[in-house]
């Protein structure tokens, strides 16, 4: 793993210029989505287009009658940053397939994928994501996720653990040391070189989620690099219940089981154990002893969900739907 010195936001060489589009799947958008859109159109490096892939479930959500938050987003359309909306019927939504559809609409050299709840921390998000692509070996770059102010100490530390303040670049040679972290990439905020994306045939389809890590594994094993751009910052975090933690890790393990040829050779349990131990040490250091039982329960539900997901093929379909965070996947 090579640490990268982040160039100052004003130091991107003027001769380096690439076209960029932002692609965002949207479903029942809220105020976070409004903030995301407001900050995207104010970026120092503006995307050519913002492509909104709007999942609808009723006729009232149609192109002619968009939801309030979506209507507001479309009102931000300008000549400097074109905003377009495309409709996806809910039964047709797929984490990989829907994003592939968005990519097919773009002719940009760099395509940026974001989720509707990722709010840029400043006006230099796009510029910071583009910096690593000056290296021709870099095929993808993902940003730093900061916890929302009300997320709590444990969630905040988890974000710090997964998204440190130092940028780095990963390649195949890092696999023996980093393990599954080599394949880590998040479509909450990630950019891809379109030519490599197409070379690898885009995201996997019909996956419960984790399409970003599956793509990242393909990028690494094809001999390219993935950059972590710490300067590309978004506010993004969740406050999950214990049951939601279980379900999320159930789906994570399902995706790894279904793509066993990618994940069987790398252990993810080791990274999880490391996170728990370091979080415990952090709580003790901060004298937040009252949160230790919460950490134990969170970790326990995560692990049980992961174990259940690893053995999903041995469970009845009726139970699988109850254990999954994405029951609609199990049609």
pLDDT in tens, 233-273: 999 988 899 999 999 999 999 999 999 988 887 776 677 88
Q: At what angle do helices 95-104 and 211-221 cross, to 10 degrees?
A: 70
d(CA 283, CA 322): 33
Helix (H) or strand (E) holding 83: strand 82-89
Tokens 């978004």 locate to: 234
d(CA 147, CA 150): 8
Q: Residue 307 has what pLDDT?
A: 96
Selection from 144, 111, 116, 102 nearest residue 4 by Cα: 144
- Record the tokens describing residue 2, joined without a space: 């090579």
Q: What angle do CA 245, 247, 250 make, to 5 degrees?
A: 110
pLDDT of 173 above 80: yes
Who's near 38: CB < 8 A, 6+ residues apart?
76
- pTM > 0.85: yes
- Record the tokens describing residue 264, joined without a space: 């069987």
pLDDT of 11 above 70: no
Selection from 295, 9, 254, 266 nearest residue 130 by Cα: 9
d(CA 66, CA 60): 7
Distance of CA 299 to the CA centre of its chain: 21
Distance of CA 263 to the CA centre of its chain: 18
What percent of the chain is predicted at pLDDT more than 70?
92
Please report which confidence band the pLDDT of residue 9 belongs to, taking 50, 70 and 90 as the band edges: very low
Q: What's the Cα-to-Cα distance from 115 to each of 79, 145, 237, rounded to whole Å?
A: 23, 12, 12
> Are the C-beta atoms of residues 211 and 96 closer than 8 Å to each other?
yes
Please report which confidence band the pLDDT of residue 59 belongs to, taking 50, 70 and 90 as the band edges: low
Q: What's the Cα-to-Cα distance from 204 to each of 115, 146, 263, 318, 331, rounded to whole Å?
A: 18, 27, 14, 25, 18
Q: Where is pLDDT greater, at 103 or 74? A: 103
pLDDT of 331 above 70: yes
> Are the C-beta atoms of residues 95 and 208 closer than 8 Å to each other?
yes
Q: Could you count the other beta carbons within 10 Å of the beta carbon of residue 24?
A: 24
- Record the tokens describing residue 170, joined without a space: 């990963």
Could you give phi then psi for residue 81, rounded to 5 degrees?
A: -155, 100
- Record the tokens describing residue 178, joined without a space: 């980093």
Most confident of the following: 13-22, 84-93, 225-234: 225-234
Collapsing DSSP states into helix, strand and coil, what is residue 226?
strand
């Amino acid at each position: 793993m090579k640490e990268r010195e982040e160039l100052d936001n004003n130091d991107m060489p003027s001769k380096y210029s690439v076209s960029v589009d932002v692609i965002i799947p949207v479903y029942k958008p809220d105020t976070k989505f409004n903030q995301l859109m407001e900050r995207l159109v104010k970026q120092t490096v503006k995307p050519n287009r913002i492509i909104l892939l709007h999942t609808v479930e009723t006729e009232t959500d149609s192109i002619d009658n968009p939801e309030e938050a979506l209507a507001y987003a479309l009102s931000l359309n300008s000549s400097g940053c074109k905003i377009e909306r495309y409709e996806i019927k809910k039964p047709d939504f797929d984490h990989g397939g829907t994003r592939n559809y968005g990519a097919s609409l773009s002719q940009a050299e760099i395509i940026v994928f974001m989720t509707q709840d990722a709010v840029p921390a400043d006006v230099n998000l796009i510029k910071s994501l583009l910096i690593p692509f000056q290296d021709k070996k870099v095929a993808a770059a993902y940003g730093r996720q900061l916890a929302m102010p009300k997320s709590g100490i444990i969630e905040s530390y988890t974000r710090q653990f997964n998204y440190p303040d130092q940028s780095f670049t990963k390649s195949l040679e890092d696999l023996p040391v980093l393990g599954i972290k080599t394949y880590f990439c998040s479509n909450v905020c990630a950019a891809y070189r379109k030519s490599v994306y197409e070379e690898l045939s885009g995201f996997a389809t019909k996956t419960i989620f984790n399409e970003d890590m599956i793509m990242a594994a393909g990028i690494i094993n094809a001999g390219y690099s993935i950059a972590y751009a710490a300067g590309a910052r978004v506010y993004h975090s969740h406050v999950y219940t214990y049951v939601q933690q279980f379900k999320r890790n159930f789906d994570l393990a399902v995706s790894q089981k279904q793509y066993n040829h990618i994940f069987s050779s790398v252990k993810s349990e080791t990274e999880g154990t490391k996170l728990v131990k370091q979080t415990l040490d952090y709580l003790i250091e901060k004298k937040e002893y009252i949160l230790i039982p919460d950490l134990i329960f969170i970790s326990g539900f995560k692990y049980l969900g992961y174990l259940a997901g690893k053995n999903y093929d041995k469970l009845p379909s009726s139970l699988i739907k109850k254990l999954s965070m994405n029951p609609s996947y199990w049609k």
